[in-house]
Amino acid sequence: MSWSGGKDSALCLHHALQSPDLRPAHLLTTLNEHYQRVAMHGVRAELLRAQAQRIGLPLHEVWLPEMPSMEVYEQRMSAALDALAAQGVRTSLFGDLHLADLRQYREQQLARVGWQARFPIWHKPAAELWAEFFDLGFRAVVVCINEQHLDASFCGRELDRDFLRDLPPGVDPCGENGEYHSFVYDAPYFRQPIAVQRGERVRRTYQPSPPAAEEEATDCYRAQPDPFSAAFWYCDLLPAPAGAPPAGPAA
């Protein structure tokens, strides 16, 4: 299971767990070596590990440089896949919804090493996915927004019905174009919720790096129209003290 810790991968895992022909056995996540956080989402590695512990699946961490070349990205992913293949795993699950070019990229890359890709929630209607998200008790915090699409006030908000109602026209409600990313702190298959508290909000910009930055972009950036010249706001989530309640709405 390609696991980002956000709502799409969480819903994808739910569908995979319900499927008679799928048996999720591992979680795999790319992380940023420089910041020690989940790539693009900016979530601390310790919170990612807390998710894996509550799900009850082993977590495989693929560590990448801050701006990896395609060569480095593919080398490290290949090493991770080889280790999983040695355990009998040959299928990777993804929570992608509509981006055909990203799906094709994943399928082609996996086929090169004898793997197949599966997309359990592909083309599921947004209304259906959100109904599942709320009705089944998923809970999440928005941890990253793309300034090209949303203003900073959306960063750190609870991912709830009010958040969806407040999205500007043209923003995909599922954030499929990279408008926002989230961290799931409770799910129906978690052993218990993860208590987190919101820290500081930070703005970061990404500029082109020669040569041909867009052509060398790894797949975790491909959903952005021009990711290397975009600005992002991140909400730093922190593990809450023992006994603290789950995140809840932002103050």
6-54 per-position pLDDT tens digit: 999 999 999 999 999 999 999 999 999 999 999 889 999 999 999 999 9
Quick one: average pLDDT of 218-223? 39
- Please say if the pLDDT value at position 141 is more than 70: yes
Provide, rounded to the nearest whole percent, the portion of the chain with pLDDT above 70. 87
pLDDT of residue 2: 97
- Please say if the pLDDT value at position 213 is more than 70: no
Measured CA to CA, the distance from residue 69 to residue 228 in angstroms comes to 13
Q: What is the mean pLDDT of the chain?
A: 90
Q: At what angle do helices 100-112 and 70-85 cross, to 10 degrees?
A: 60
Measured CA to CA, the distance from residue 183 to residue 193 in angstroms comes to 12
pLDDT of residue 243: 67
- Please say if the pLDDT value at position 216 is more than 70: no
Cβ neighbours, 10 Å, residue 244:
11
Measured CA to CA, the distance from residue 126 to residue 16 in angstroms comes to 18
Quick one: average pLDDT of 203-226? 49
Residue 68 pLDDT class (50, 70, 90 cuts): confident
Q: Tokens at residue 125, please?
A: 């209607």
Q: What is the DSSP letter of 41?
A: T
Q: How far is CA 58 from CA 25, 95, 98, 192, 220, in A?
A: 7, 18, 28, 17, 21
Helix-strand-coil split of the chain, %, nearest 5: 30, 25, 45
pLDDT of residue 190: 98
Q: Tokens at residue 186, please?
A: 């409770």
Angle (nearest 5°) at CA 207 between 234 and 183: 20
Q: What is the DSSP letter of 22?
A: -
Measured CA to CA, the distance from residue 195 to residue 186 in angstroms comes to 9
Q: How far is CA 97 from CA 52, 77, 182, in A?
A: 23, 22, 16
Partners of 61 in the β-ladder: 29
Q: What is the DSSP letter of 129?
A: H
Q: Tokens at residue 28, please?
A: 């795999």
Among the residue ranges 96-100, 109-113, 213-217, 231-235, the one predicted with the least confidence is: 213-217
Express each pLDDT in 149-205 by its tens digit: 999 999 999 999 999 999 999 999 999 999 999 999 999 999 999 999 999 999 998
pLDDT of residue 211: 40
7-239 fold? Rossmann fold (3.40.50)
Q: Write down the domain spans for the chain.
A: 7-239
H/E segment holding residue 84? helix 70-85
pLDDT of residue 206: 74
pLDDT of residue 118: 98
Are residues 174 and 123 in contact, defined by beta-carbon separation less than 8 angstroms? no
pLDDT of residue 223: 39
- Please say if the pLDDT value at position 115 is more than 50: yes
Nearest to 92 by CA among 180, 197, 174, 12: 12
